[in-house]
């Protein structure tokens, strides 16, 4: 067995073992022996290396988690007891389980900020029956280092889609399970190297992830790694993905949401926008018509009516009182205007305003025109009218008379709104939306808001038949007809957004114009990629730095003083120089030199 000589004392290591039916029983035992051998050079304890194990077939079975065992002998005992599942090959499902559960802090994984390497060692002998590339990439991007070990006829491309890069250090293929033991010493070297995050100035903006002999920088969710491989920028998913938002796309940590312009609301599919129908909710209490506007609504009356001060109910206009009609004697309202009328004994002049005395003696219409008056016929200026004897009432068609007494006319009934004859008396009634008071004469509006639990967030307003909810100034009613949201938060607060303010429910978010991304203060903007938007002149690599950029060179090159072009760090090592003795770098070239006691020949390379 290998000695416990691991210099690297802290690891979170999870084995993922293929337990499908294609793995024979004695091969499964070989895998268990391989795991037991790896355990020998690990220092297993809660403060050093923690070990978990998952085996999978058609389903995933966690044999033990990173927090289950505190001692090596307990881990070894659990590995020896492990039973073969002998079902399908759901490799992607096993990787998904490792990312979501096995490496969660609740299952014993240490927080990323502690820089403890997270490692998966997966052993498989067949083609997976489910997708693996996407979930494996998610695992690697979350800071997990994956060693992929294939046995037998495993597809090498599948192994490479699982394992970390460089593949020559993290992907292994052996002919059979008996050869898997040959990998033990290689893994001792890879697992026991020092934690680079702890011993170097890594300058990672968010997280430093240890890898064997090196490290990687990773970013928090919702951020992406910049070209310098160290700093992080807010991930603009709205710019890089086909979000399909019809109007506005708003980034959220690790995702995005669609929003709509003022006067629109999001459809049920979460992508498209529809015009807000403010009038859809019980006509908003408008007596006649409700008319939608861009961000609200208003009530409108039918022709011949005008809006009351409550802005909801309508009434016939009193044109005679609304304007200077100029009628000398009487003004009479019509549906859409008025006309002037003269009193008895007067006739209207051609100006249709003033009156002149008229002595009616010319024609006895009651005599010359057939009339059907029940009681009396009375001549008028141009025709006649029927009148009834005292204590009789004229019927609606005007000719006949009834001896039924109109108590509502004859008596001082005192009804506030409506008086209704009842044969030998009368009763008072109220208009719709009102109830009669205890005095049986006066009326009070029905208080629908007080009768039940209206649920209005701001204001409850009584209508004739029911109630409607309304919002305070600066707010508008949501589709539920109860709750309120700000009409335009961006206009009502000092948002401080450098470019664009976008309303977001009861708050707002700042957005940047195209080509810019939001800084971490959530208000100011910087160019998304200066290197792409300017002629930078960098010979090798252009790296964005806030509102500017810097030029950098590829490995093995140095930046010249002009800050743009690069020169080879060591020409002598990068070319076949042919110098017999010494090669001396000289900026972008080199010269050959000889040891003491020798001189350079004319060929500039050999010495004598």
**166 assigned to some structural domain:** yes
**94 assigned to some structural domain:** yes
pLDDT tens per residue, range 308-323: 888 888 888 888 876 6
CATH number of domain containing 92: 3.40.50.410
Among 196, 224, 251, give the residue marking a domain's end.
Answer: 196
pLDDT tens per residue, range 333-346: 887 788 999 988 78
**Which tokens in the block code for residue 419?**
């008086």
**Which tokens in the block code for residue 457?**
């967030």
**317 assigned to some structural domain:** no
CA distance 237 to 384: 86
- pTM above threshold 0.85: no
Domain span holding position 83: 11-196
What is the CB neighbour count within 10 angstroms for residue 440?
11
**134 assigned to some structural domain:** yes
Query: Following CA atoms 398, 404, 407, 409 in sequence, which dihedral angle do they give, to the nearest 10 degrees?
Result: 20
Return all residues near 314 (Cβ < 8 A) that are at least 6 apart: 287, 288, 299, 301, 302, 305, 306, 307, 308
Beta strand segments in 418-483, E: 418-421, 426-429, 434-436, 443-445, 459-462, 467-470, 475-477
Among 125, 126, 173, smallest CA distance to 147 is for 173
CATH number of domain containing 540: 2.10.25.10
Strand, coil or helix: 532: helix
pLDDT tens per residue, range 63-117: 999 999 999 999 999 999 999 998 888 999 999 999 999 999 999 999 988 888 8
**564 assigned to some structural domain:** yes
CA distance 525 to 323: 59
**498 assigned to some structural domain:** no
CA distance 482 to 280: 13
Across 22-26, 241-245, 420-424, 576-580, the highest mean pLDDT is recorded for 22-26
Distances from the Cα of 434 to the Cα of 41, 229, 431, 454, 548, angstroms: 90, 74, 6, 19, 72
pLDDT tens per residue, range 350-408: 899 998 877 655 567 787 777 788 888 887 766 778 888 776 777 656 678 876 667 77
**85 assigned to some structural domain:** yes
CA distance 265 to 278: 11
What ranges in 55-155 are assigned the alpha helix state H? 72-81, 91-97, 133-141
Residue 1 pLDDT class (50, 70, 90 cuts): very low
Through-space distance between the first and last CA atoms of the chain, rounded to whole angstroms: 57
For the purposes of burial, counting CB atoms within 10 Å of the CB of 488, is it exposed (0-12), middle (13-18) or buried (19 or more)? middle
What is the CB neighbour count within 10 angstroms for residue 564?
15
Q: Average pLDDT over the chain, rounded to whole? A: 83
For the purposes of burial, counting CB atoms within 10 Å of the CB of 7, is it exposed (0-12), middle (13-18) or buried (19 or more)? exposed
Distances from the Cα of 266 to the Cα of 116, 258, 491, 571, angstroms: 44, 8, 21, 62
Greater confidence (446 vs 452) lies with: 446
CA distance 540 to 529: 16
Q: What percent of the chain has pLDDT over 70?
A: 90
Q: Domain tally for the chain?
A: 2
Q: Considering just the CA atoms, what is the radius of gyration of the chain in Å? A: 46
**439 assigned to some structural domain:** no
């Amino acid at each position: 067995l290998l000695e416990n000589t691991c210099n690297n004392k802290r690891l979170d290591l999870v084995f993922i073992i293929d337990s499908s039916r294609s793995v024979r029983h004695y091969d499964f035992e070989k895998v268990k022996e391989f795991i037991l051998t790896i355990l020998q050079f690990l220092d297993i304890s809660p403060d050093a290396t923690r070990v978990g194990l998952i085996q999978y077939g058609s389903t995933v079975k966690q044999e033990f988690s990173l927090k289950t065992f505190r001692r090596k002998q307990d881990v070894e005992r659990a590995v020896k007891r492990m039973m073969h599942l002998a079902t399908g090959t759901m490799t992607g499902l096993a990787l998904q389980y490792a990312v979501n559960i096995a490496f969660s802090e609740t299952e014993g994984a240490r927080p990323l900020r502690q820089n403890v390497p997270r490692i998966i060692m997966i052993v498989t002998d067949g083609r997976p029956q489910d997708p693996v590339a996407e979930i494996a990439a998610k695992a690697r991007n979350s800071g997990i280092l994956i060693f992929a070990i294939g046995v037998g006829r495993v597809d090498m491309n599948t192994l490479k889609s699982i394992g970390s890069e460089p593949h020559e250090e993290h992907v292994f293929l052996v002919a059979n399970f008996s050869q898997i033991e040959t990998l033990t010493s290689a893994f001792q070297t890879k697992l026991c190297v020092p934690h680079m995050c702890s011993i170097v100035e890594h300058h990672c903006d968010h997280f430093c992830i240890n890898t064997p002999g090196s490290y990687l920088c990773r970013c928090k969710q919702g951020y992406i790694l910049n070209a310098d491989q160290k700093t992080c920028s807010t991930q603009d998913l709205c710019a890089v993905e086909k979000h399909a938002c019809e109007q506005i796309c708003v980034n959220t940590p690790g995702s995005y949401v669609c929003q709509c312009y003022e006067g629109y609301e999001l459809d049920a599919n979460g992508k498209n926008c529809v015009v807000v129908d403010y009038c859809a909710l019980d006509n908003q209490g408008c007596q006649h018509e409700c008319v939608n506007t861009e961000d609200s609504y208003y009530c409108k009356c039918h022709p011949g009516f005008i809006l009351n001060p409550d802005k909801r109910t309508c009434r016939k206009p009193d044109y005679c009182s609304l304007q200077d009609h100029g009628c000398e004697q009487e003004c009479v309202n019509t549906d859409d205007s008025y006309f002037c009328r003269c009193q008895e004994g007067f006739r209207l002049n051609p100006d249709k305003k003033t009156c002149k005395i008229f002595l009616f003696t010319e024609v006895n219409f009651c005599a010359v025109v057939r009339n059907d008056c029940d009681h009396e016929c009375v001549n008028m200026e141009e025709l006649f009218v029927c009148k009834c004897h005292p204590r009789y009432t004229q019927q609606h068609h005007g000719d006949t008379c009834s001896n039924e007494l109109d108590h509502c006319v004859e008596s001082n009934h005192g009804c506030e709104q409506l008086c209704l004859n009842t044969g030998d008396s009368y009763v008072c009634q109220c208009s719709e939306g009102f109830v009669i008071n205890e005095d049986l004469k006066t009326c009070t509006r029905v208080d629908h808001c007080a009768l039940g639990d209206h649920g209005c967030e701001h204001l409850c307003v009584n209508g004739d038949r029911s109630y409607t909810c309304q919002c305070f100034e600066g707010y508008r009613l949501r589709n539920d007809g109860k709750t309120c949201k700000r009409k335009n938060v961006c206009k009502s607060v000092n948002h401080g957004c450098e470019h664009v303010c976008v309303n977001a429910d009861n708050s707002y978010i700042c957005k940047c114009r195209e080509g810019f991304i939001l800084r971490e203060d959530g208000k100011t903007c910087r160019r998304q990629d200066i290197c792409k938007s300017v002629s930078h002149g960098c010979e090798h690599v252009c790296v964005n730095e806030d509102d500017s950029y810097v030029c950098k060179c590829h490995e093995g090159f140095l930046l010249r003083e002009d800050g743009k072009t690069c020169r080879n760090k060591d020409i002598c090592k990068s070319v076949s120089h042919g110098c017999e003795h010494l090669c001396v770098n000289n900026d972008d070239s080199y010269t050959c030199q000889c040891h003491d006691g020798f001189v350079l020949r004319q060929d500039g390379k050999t010495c004598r």
